[in-house]
Structure 1
Amino acid sequence: MPLAVPGLMRLQPLPELLQGYDTATQITALAHWLRHQPSPRSARVWIATGPDHTARAVVLARIAIGSQGIRVGPADWPTSSPSEHRKLLRDTLRLTLWRATGSTGAWLAPQVVARKRANCGV
């Protein structure tokens, strides 16, 4: 999922941001990285991803990054399919768990994590 952070002009992805292997862990990696940046909290993050994935990615980013006072918005806002609505609910619960405990709950499905990590090269 490409991310555009205004004011940051690096063209190469930062290693800290490549730690995620799914939407929830990518967003939490970005939230963690942003938390340690000296940038002003009035920043805005634009999420740019596939049309069917945008709604879910923006909601998750608003939970994780918006809680830091950073505004989050979509680069484009398409409508989601029914399967994306289910994933949105699932991942919203994961990010709520992350805010409360610091874990996305990925450890509950180690085989899925291993497959996703292998697919992403992480």
Structure 2
Amino acid sequence: MRLFILFFLLPYFVSSLELNLLCTNNLRENQNVDVKDLFVNINTDTNLIELGGLSFQAESLKLSKTNISWLAEEIPLYSDSAGSVNGIIGRFSGNLELDFIKYKNGHASTLSFNCKKFKFKDRRF
């Protein structure tokens, strides 16, 4: 019986993924951006994405062998307008690209980060 339960639940545990990442913005083209460090949490079971203090449910979350990508729309990004967020992270490179679009005026902004798995012992101070 235990063996049956193990084989029944194994695909659920193998296909789910929860990532806790620490992403740093140290790319040259982003030197004028105030966001330098960002905690990113991705839960593939619930499609829940947390970018720092911004938490939202992604409408689509695609998990491949090389990338994780998502799209979320109607997110209250701004006080006067909703917006959309899409992102892609390379599973080997650790590069994260985030695109934010404000619906009211169509303004788009992109942020680039280098990410690694978060370990509390890696903090600098």
**TM-score of the aligned structures, taking structure 1 as reference length:** 0.27
Larger radius of gyration: 2
TM-score (norm 2): 0.27
Higher strand share: 2
